[in-house]
Structure 1
Amino acid sequence: MADTTFLDWPFFEDKHRELRDAIESWCCINLPADHSDTDAACIKLVNDLGAAGFLKLSAVDPSDPKPLDVRSLCIMRETLARHDGLGDFAFAMQGLGTGAISLFGNSQQQQWLNKTRAGETLSAFALTEPNSGSDVANIELSAIRDGDDYVLNGEKTWISNGGIAGVYVVFARTGEAAGAKGISAFIVPADTPGLTVEERLDVMAPHPLARLGFKQLRIPASNRIGEVGQGFKIAMSVLDVFRCTVGAAALGFARRALEETIARATTRKLGDGVLADMQMVQGHMAEMAIDIDASALLIYRAAWTKDMGAARVSREAAMAKQFATDQAQQIIDKAVQIHGGEGVRSGNTVEKLYREIRALRIYEGASDVQKIIVARQLLSQEERNAGTKRTQGHLHKGQAAAS
């Protein structure tokens, strides 16, 4: 049984503890999913999560828009990931895929949320391109205004839910300025002529991913989300909300790895005792537990800060994502090592966790990118502090001269 003492931390309210109990019960009945057909599994998971009401947390209610509760998103992802990585993926993409509509869409555009929150339509976040990964400002897919329409041409790749989504939020270059200032966001229904699935992408932990083509794809200008040229701001705002939830998924994987390790170490015979009798193994388990709690503190600090009304939590979310995903990788590696040969047997739980965790250190901003974000925040704060000191210094000199 996973540790739940963290729910007593002051970050949480009763509704969060109740949510955790509800999703835990649902997971025990419905997960793990049948992974033999990844597309079918994802579609069923979204349908089932929607029917159970959990997808209401993934986006605002168009009839009563309240801010997203990021702590609830993190609890959902942590719990789902501990049971099944594909379950976490299915839930997460309903939130990330519609994040731009949820945060910036008008009332007409937000009608899509009725379908995604009910689990009737899968959503996708189409940002990455073959020549534009972490460097979002270099997006090349073009959106040219033609009367009351936009015409899109180009490619997107590594798109989660690519090929099975019913609606895509696509970021394209509208060209008002160079770099980040010339990007806009658009809603593209999956059945729009000109949208093609160029390639399905197979990865080490099977998830539905695709490379998409946009060939003279025409959509009405009313499908643009927000103002023209605001696409980069929109994308970063969405990632600001959902980035710490990636850390929460990693935390779920890490908690499961520790559970499996404890079970293995306390039952695996070694001489006259068991593996857990070895001080070295105890040391590894202690390190795993410490890293799990440290990750949880960073994740729920970031989520709580956002829920308390902070406009941006770029620094907090970057810290949470970088630390939690990197430490989960190490925790799972320790779990595999302690399991010995069984740890690398195909289908073993820790072997599956080993494949699941690696992608989280890449998507929604690779670990090194998160370090850059944190460093830039620190340097920016230092510049602001230095400016304040200079201003105060000038004031003091002026006051001294006046006296």
Structure 2
Amino acid sequence: MTAFSLEPAQLAWCADLRTLAAERLRPLADKGEPGHVNRALVAELGGLGLIGRLFTSGALDLCLMRESLAYACTEAETALALQGLGAHPVHAYGTEAQRARWLPRVTAGTAIAAFALSEPGAGSDAAALELRAEADASQAGRSSDTAQAGRSSDAPVLSAAPDGPARWRLTGEKCWISNAPEADFYTVFARTTPGAGARGVTAFLVPADRPGLTGRGLDMLSPHPIGALDFDAVPVTADDVLGEADRGFRVAMGTLNLFRPSVGAFAVGMAQAALDATLAHTAGRDAFGGKLRDLQAVSHQVAEMALRTEAARLMVHAAASAYDAGDPDVPRRSAMAKLLATETAQYVVDTAVQLHGARALQRGHLLEHLYREVRAPRIYEGASEVQRGIIAKELYARQEAR
């Protein structure tokens, strides 16, 4: 890892994380069952203090952690990231009671979190959510004028009914949810105001044991658990709201703006692993009377892999630093970082497979593993096409503001 403005201490920390991932986390990951939560691995991440660091450090630290872990153990990286994604809304928007109940367990690695945004008909178009949060019949006609207490200082306040918190019933489906159906709680986004688009969505903290909530695993390419959730009149109250009613889209976008650059960091870690494996292979492989690296067609491809990986890393670091500095240009920078890094990783891993030949397609080979892992980040947390749309929208908005 090089360049940008990383301090020697940061570079040393990244090196330590790569060693930690290879020596302590990789063995636990290998014992896990594909498609299921590896609770031993999550507990180790908690015991090492890495999950807790998600909530006390900035975006750049998050990116450094994800890139370093991904280099040696993608399973550990993903387990860490999913804890952060699912629990960050609680950390940033939750009440004191919500944070006290869940964050210590998340930090310790004993409670599994999940971010439940996508639906069968609303993936990239998050404003098209159809999971319904309908007012409980017993609450009909009540006014809401008593402020709910205990929220974090940066979170909006939700009003509650005079004789008790407002109540809703969640009905519908969520799909392609990481850690489902095995999570202990879900950050769920549901429509509280029909026809209001992004303005009519509310975020709820829903424990997995709520009546009416069921789930099933999906057989996906990714080795980590992904599932669907069914909500059959699942009860929630104002005590379960994260942020403010009808303002849940703010919770979702605030979370994604933080995590999108770090998805890019995950991709950069995979790209670097593929590049290093390719350097070693092409330097040692005999071919046509010399080594593979002696062939210009090969060496130029390796140079292109390195160029793109470093460019992606720099953009990820720049986006994360902008987030930490409170730059108003964060949505554009985050979208650019995720887009460039994930597309770059796809290219680098694919080229690495090509230069390795058939051996890279064998089950258990590093590149066979990376080839399966690298595809999904171009889709989740906003597909590449969505990122291009965000970038263009921000650019035109800046032009019109001049």
Aligned to 2:71: 82
Aligned to 2:90: 101
Aligned to 2:146: none
Distance in 1 of aligned mates of 2:116 and 2:381: 12
DSSP-derived class of the 1:229 partner: coil
In the alignment, structure 1 residue 59 sits paired with structure 2 residue 49: no
1:39-188 aligned at under 5 Å gives the runs 42-60=38-56, 68-111=57-100, 112-146=102-136, 147=139, 148=165, 149-175=167-193, 178-188=196-206
1:288-299 aligned at under 5 Å gives the runs 288-299=305-316
Q: In the alignment, which of 1, 5, 9 is matched to residue 2 of structure 2? A: 5
Aligned to 1:217: 234
Aligned to 1:37: 33
Distance in 1 of aligned mates of 2:206 and 2:92: 17
Shift in Å, 1:176 = 6.7
Aligned to 1:24: 18
In the alignment, structure 1 residue 330 sits paired with structure 2 residue 327: no
Equivalent residues of 1:46, 1:91 under 8 A apart: yes
Distance in 2 of aligned mates of 1:369 and 1:81: 24
Aligned to 2:376: 359
Query: Identity over the aligned pairs, expressed in percent?
Result: 41
Shift in Å, 1:84 = 2.0
Shift in Å, 1:300 = 0.3
The one-letter amino acid of 2:2's match is T
DSSP-derived class of the 1:377 partner: helix
Shift in Å, 1:309 = 2.3
Distance in 2 of aligned mates of 1:383 and 1:291: 32
1:259-270 aligned at under 5 Å gives the runs 259-270=276-287
1:266-345 aligned at under 5 Å gives the runs 266-310=283-327, 313-345=330-362
DSSP-derived class of the 1:38 partner: coil
Distance in 2 of aligned mates of 1:121 and 1:14: 34
Q: TM-score, normalised by structure 1?
A: 0.89
Shift in Å, 1:220 = 2.5
Distance in 2 of aligned mates of 1:72 and 1:119: 19
Aligned to 2:150: none
Q: TM-score, normalised by structure 2?
A: 0.89
DSSP-derived class of the 1:170 partner: strand
Equivalent residues of 2:25, 2:44 under 8 A apart: no
Distance in 2 of aligned mates of 1:133 and 1:176: 18
Q: Deviations over 1:82-113 (max 9, x none)?
A: 11221111000011111211221122221211
Of 137-146 and 321-330, deviating more is 137-146
The one-letter amino acid of 1:327's match is T
Equivalent residues of 1:237, 1:312 under 8 A apart: no
Distance in 2 of aligned mates of 1:132 and 1:41: 25
Aligned length: 371
Aligned to 2:251: 234
Q: Deviations over 1:17-58 (max 9, x none)?
A: 353233223112124321651366621211100011111122
DSSP-derived class of the 1:5 partner: coil
CA separation of 1:161/1:312 partners in 2, compared to 1, >3 Å: closer, same or farther? farther
DSSP-derived class of the 2:228 partner: strand
DSSP-derived class of the 2:227 partner: strand
Shift in Å, 1:5 = 2.5
CA separation of 1:13/1:110 partners in 2, compared to 1, >3 Å: closer, same or farther? farther
CA separation of 1:333/1:35 partners in 2, compared to 1, >3 Å: closer, same or farther? farther
Distance in 1 of aligned mates of 2:193 and 2:175: 21
Distance in 1 of aligned mates of 2:319 and 2:182: 32
Equivalent residues of 2:35, 2:226 under 8 A apart: no
CA separation of 1:176/1:229 partners in 2, compared to 1, >3 Å: closer, same or farther? farther
CA separation of 1:355/1:18 partners in 2, compared to 1, >3 Å: closer, same or farther? same
Aligned to 2:161: none
Of 184-193 and 272-281, deviating more is 272-281
Distance in 2 of aligned mates of 1:307 and 1:358: 28
Structure 1 gaps of 5+ residues are: 61-67, 386-403
The one-letter amino acid of 1:5's match is T
Q: Deviations over 1:297-322 (max 9, x none)?
A: 10000001111123561100000000
1:359-398 aligned at under 5 Å gives the runs 359-385=376-402
Q: Deviations over 1:304-344 (max 9, x none)?
A: 11111235611000000001000110111110010011122
Distance in 1 of aligned mates of 2:190 and 2:288: 63
Equivalent residues of 2:32, 2:38 under 8 A apart: no
The one-letter amino acid of 1:169's match is T
Equivalent residues of 2:275, 2:352 under 8 A apart: yes
